[in-house]
Structure 1
Amino acid sequence: MQTMAEEAKGPIEHNPKILSGPVLANSPNAFLSKSVLTRYNDLPIPKDNILATYIWIDGTGEHVRCKDRTVNFVPKTPKDLPIWNFDGSSTGQADRKNADTYLIPQAIYKDPFRRGNHILVMCDTYTYKMQPTESNHRIKCQEAYDQCKDEEPWFGIEQEYILLDADLRPFGWPPGGCPPPQGPYYCGVGANKVFARDLVEAHYRCCLYAGIPISGTNAEAMPSQWEFQVGPSLGVNGGDDLWVARYILHRLAEEFGVIVSFDPKPVKDWNGSGAHMNFSTKTMRAENGIEEIERAIDKLSKAHMKHIKVYDPRGGKDNERRLTGLHETASINDFSAGVANRGCSIRIPRSVAFEKRGYFEDRRPASNCDPYAVINALIRTCILNE
């Protein structure tokens, strides 16, 4: 059993003792007094000054960047906001000799950190020639959605993640060892089973304040592993909502002195982390929609490896570690579907099978997937028949 930080140091031995409390002393942010900031947060600023945090996906396809600017009006739509630029050579998105890369605002959310009229702005990225960067999957997702708006595709995303301490060990795990085997941690309660609920609670409320349709959260199968659910979101909005929810989580974690990891398999021999995608169309949600669900699953079975290649940022390499056929996953090489079966590629919920309409869950996307790429693939395979 190895963590990312200790992979080269040999296995972590199983340690059955009760977990010790989390230690934040080795986090640089822990040395900063958060109370000092309150001396400045209430400083009055001109009423016509709105602080806008522009957020974008960098060249890795899985990490977000951000920077702030002041605008002198309250924007009603993303198009009201100015196009901006950044140094793409520092984010893996441009050459150093021609580094300017464009940010085009696409979605606006309320800022839960500054509050008031201040905003978070989800952007996509374009080269100096105004062509989409390699990590800009939003534009194809938007194009796909525009072709099937009448079907009203809904997406609900179950985002799993793990919290790490400053030494990149799972947060709250005993030094040099592992906690007792998984079992009591999923949806657990108690100081020896659950860590950092404060952060999770803050994230839940921040997302709701921002306008993100977060629909729930729970502790997961590994201690310090959590999940939140976003949706149902319509079409490309699902990607916007999840990316901004991820940004808020990272931003909150700074204040708590912990690190958020979306690595799909952070510790061997424990459950990995996914971003299960719940998907439905108007036809699937209608009476006897189970027939459309079954047709969609048949189409997915014929495009399995094409989907695997876009379900993590490294073309399936990350999912190779997670989709092993163990720990509530199907094998990456085999497509399967079943009712209430969490060992399948596609799960049909028991209630859907009973009511004969609803949605299905694609359990293959990795926790670090780009939701725009996943949504795009599902629309094109299941609705557009590409």
Structure 2
Amino acid sequence: MATEAAFTSRPETLAKYLKLDQKGQIMAEYIWIDADGETRSKSREPHPTQHIDRLALCPKTPRTSSCRVQRRSSAIGGSCQSYFCALWAVGVSSVSWLGAKSPPPAKKWMTVDVLHRLPQRPQNAWGRWSTRSSAWHRQLDGKAHRMMSASVAKLAHELGRLETGSEEEGHFLSCARICDTLKEKEYTPEDLPMWNFDGSSTNQAPGDNSDVYLKPVAVFPDPFRGSPNILVLAECWNADGTPNKYNYRHECAKLMEAHAAHDPWFGLEQEYTLLDLSNRPFGWPANGFPAPQGPYYCGVGAGKVVQRDIVDAHYKACLYSGVKISGTNAEVMPAQWEFQVGPCVGIEMGDHLWLARFLLARIAEEFGAKVSVEPKPIPGDWNGAGLHSNFSTKEMRVEGGMKHIEAAIKKLEGRHKEHIAVYGEGNEKRLTGRHETGSIDQFSYGVANRGASIRIPRECAAKGYGYFEDRRPASNADPYRITGIMMETIFGSVA
């Protein structure tokens, strides 16, 4: 039988391979959130180092595509008035890109498989973009206009890489990997290609239409492989150009942008429980329970806390990646911990919390530990796990801000059920009115009251301005849904 040690990483072996020369390439690990609120990831090399990889004639082969561009053109002097399909421009009669009736923005990375037809007596030219291809193209500054009016053969000769081949009916010119190499630490989401994954394996798409697209939205340094490798947080999109059902970031970002004038600050307190491979909390007796709660909260010393090495490693990884982590502490139940992220402005809150969750899962993986964000992992007289959400606006943070805090709380009271609906699965097991929680069925608020739905810190009440804490969200809640509905309730929805 496999032992627990077999499931953990060997640091000396891992370090040996991480030190290998990457030969000028980088790795980008794309991260997304699946239907069950778990992070998933897959890795790729996002940009080839060569400017032109190849131009070759190849037989016609059927391919699928999510984006097509067609343009009718006439033969002039026996040569085709061609169109370089990686370089979009005027004259395009119809464009469909992920369902949108407009071309992709200029100078954006995207997957491209460009095919140019070469008939003996050319009457038209057509091309295809495909996010299923492994070839990556980018607009070439200063050459786009010249290339669009060139014939296919002339285009190939301009690039200087036309290989010997037939120009008979049914042959195509395939152009691959035309791009610029980016310098280290200059990556933005706009620099990186969209990608895709099998959504039927993550419960995000049916098997007969399984491709789900990954749109980069945030880039972080990679603490596992080191510089210049990167982690890429991505939104999930359907092939018809609509956000995937589980892409909660999209609507949240719209709300944040619409109400940006209020300068919303968020801080989230992520509680979690560390389990062994048998799903037992670390440090708990195999056939019993530890001593009652009391000495474990912010505890120090053997018998009070376990797996502090995971907590410290996670903290350092967050700092390296630029995640705005602001603290850690042992929680009330043994084997339960908390980290805080924030203050963050707007959509940044959800991005940083999700990246912090991903880093924690990856680090715990190396220690052979499971991370549980169940709101009530152990039944009985034990605290649950929450995602306490701290919030303020610029109006709340200045003298006289308490009236804005109280006005916001009044609005939250009016939509208590709507908030509970998006504040996490299984939250009814946690919000019982016991163990520092309010009742799931009743809204309440108070100063320094950890048994209320909303807590106003005593310091803020004394000063008359500051922030408030929503204690209702469960530890497994989606931060985009929490912060999004907070903005919607207080400031209004957007179309």
TM-score of the pair, normalised by structure 1: 0.90
* Displacement of 1:45: 1.2
The C-alpha deviation readout for 1:10-32, integer Å capped at 9, x for no partner, is: xxxxxxxxxxxxxx9535413x5
SS in 1 for 2:435: coil
Counterpart for residue 102 of structure 2: none
Higher relative contact order structure (alpha carbons within 8 Å, sequence separation ≥ 6):
1
Report whether the alignment pairs 1:52 with 2:160: no
Counterpart for residue 298 of structure 1: 410
Task: From the superposition, tell whether residues 385 and 288 of structure 1 become closer, same or farther in structure 2 (CA, over 3 Å).
Answer: farther
Task: Tell me the amino acid that sits aligned with residue 285 of structure 1.
Answer: R
Counterpart for residue 11 of structure 1: none
Output the CA distance in 1 between the equivalents of 2:355 and 2:442. Answer: 33
Task: Tell me the amino acid that sits aligned with residue 65 of structure 1.
Answer: R
Alignment of 1:163-312 (within 5 A): 163-268=274-379, 269-312=381-424
CA contact (8 A) 2:28 2:45 kept: yes
Sequence identity percentage: 53
Structure 2 gaps of 5+ residues are: 48-181
Report whether the alignment pairs 1:322 with 2:435: no
Task: Tell me the amino acid that sits aligned with residue 96 of structure 1.
Answer: G
CA contact (8 A) 2:217 2:232 kept: yes
Report whether the alignment pairs 1:377 with 2:377: no
Counterpart for residue 52 of structure 2: none
* Displacement of 1:385: 7.0
* Displacement of 1:97: 1.2
Task: Tell me the amino acid that sits aligned with residue 307 of structure 1.
Answer: H
Task: Tell me the amino acid that sits aligned with residue 287 of structure 1.
Answer: E
Specify which of 458, 468, 487 is matched with residue 360 of structure 1: 468
Output the CA distance in 2 between the equivalents of 1:177 and 1:97. Answer: 48
Output the CA distance in 1 between the equivalents of 2:6 and 2:282. Answer: 15
Output the CA distance in 2 between the equivalents of 1:364 and 1:27. Answer: 38
CA contact (8 A) 2:255 2:493 kept: no
Output the CA distance in 2 between the equivalents of 1:28 and 1:37. Answer: 14
Counterpart for residue 19 of structure 1: none
Report whether the alignment pairs 1:70 with 2:45: yes
CA contact (8 A) 1:88 1:94 kept: yes
Counterpart for residue 96 of structure 1: 207
* Displacement of 1:119: 0.8
Counterpart for residue 34 of structure 1: 11
CA contact (8 A) 2:314 2:363 kept: yes
Output the CA distance in 2 between the equivalents of 1:383 and 1:287. Answer: 21
After superposition, the CA RMSD in angstroms is 1.3
Structure (1/2) with the larger helix percentage: 1
Task: Tell me the amino acid that sits aligned with residue 352 of structure 2.
Answer: D
Task: Tell me the amino acid that sits aligned with residue 156 of structure 1.
Answer: G
* Displacement of 1:384: 2.5
SS in 1 for 2:240: coil
Counterpart for residue 21 of structure 1: none
Task: Tell me the amino acid that sits aligned with residue 59 of structure 1.
Answer: A
Counterpart for residue 336 of structure 1: 444
SS in 2 for 1:250: helix
Task: From the superposition, tell whether residues 375 and 43 of structure 1 become closer, same or farther in structure 2 (CA, over 3 Å).
Answer: same
Output the CA distance in 2 between the equivalents of 1:33 and 1:369. Answer: 33
The C-alpha deviation readout for 1:280-329, integer Å capped at 9, x for no partner, is: 000000111010000000000110000000111x4xxx110100000000
Structure 1 gaps of 5+ residues are: 1-23
Counterpart for residue 155 of structure 1: 266
CA contact (8 A) 2:423 2:473 kept: yes
